[in-house]
Chains A and B, each alone.
Chain A
Amino acid sequence: TAGITQAPTSQILAAGRSMTLRCTQDMRHNAMYWYRQDLGLGLRLIHYSNTAGTTGKGEVPDGYSVSRANTDDFPLTLASAVPSQTSVYFCASSEGTSFTDTQYFGPGTRLTVL
């Protein structure tokens, strides 16, 4: 079982360009999440989805959008990247929809915006 896969592993992106970070899980988990990890700040929640067709905003949603067309996929889109979006992005999932449920994380995508 692969668990959660993320693509690409890393990317360098010019400011102003758009990009979609991909996340796929094969555990049939209901909820999925996107976090960014920045040095000295821990992880911060960007967006989440409790089930296919629904999404919600986290702590730092500005500049990002998500969709949840099916259970397995939860792509994160940066419409017009800015240097402050340089970060490591982690996708996660949980079987239940409560934030008390254990979350399982993907390997991350390292994004550099120049």
Chain B
Amino acid sequence: AQSVAQPEDQVNVAEGNPLTVKCTYSVSGNPYLFWYVQYPNRGLQFLLKYITGDNLVKGSYGFEAEFNKSQTSFHLKKPSALVSDSALYFCAVLTGANNLFFGTGTRLTVIP
């Protein structure tokens, strides 16, 4: 079955330090991968996506993600975390033509 996994429910990082939120995927064929962020009591906001092309994808708010086919990963990264980055992050993969499968989410807390 096609899916994504976010192995960490919670990630804590100090402000100013680099952050990584992990995502691994399992798909047949070419993967289409997405990252969304959810702030408290809000809907999801799109950060970035990988469809084809460069393995390093740059997105909103200084985030980037690297598509690694050999490791079947699409980890989200940012060089210097901000307190305002604290939120719930979702990785998603397109499964078939008509479904976007979301991971269970990783709660990022940036400590001042």
Residues of A within 8 A of B46 (CB): 102-104
Determine whether the beta carbon of B49 is less than 8 Å from that of A42.
no
Q: Which of A99, A104, A107, A108 contacts B100 (CB 8 A)?
A: A99
Q: Which of A93-114 contact B (CB under 8 A)?
A: 99-100, 102-108
Which one, A13-21, A43-51, A67-75, A77-85, is touching chain B?
A43-51
Residues of A within 8 A of B45 (CB): 105
A85 to B97 CA separation, bound complex (whole angstroms): 26
Residues of B within 8 A of A90 (CB): 43-44
Size band of the A side of the interface? 20 to 34
Residues of B within 8 A of A44 (CB): 102
Q: Which of B42, B49, B51, B98 contacts A58 (CB 8 A)?
A: B98
Judge if B73 is at the interface, Cβ distance under 8 Å: no
Distance (whole angstroms) from the CB of B27 to the closest CB of chain A: 13
Determine whether the beta carbon of B98 is less than 8 Å from that of A107.
no
**Given A43-B44, A105-B45, A107-B43, A99-B97 contact (CB < 8 Å):** yes
A102 to B45 CA separation, bound complex (whole angstroms): 9
User: B-side interface residues toward A, CB under 8 Å?
Assistant: 32, 36, 41-46, 49, 51, 90, 92, 94, 97-105
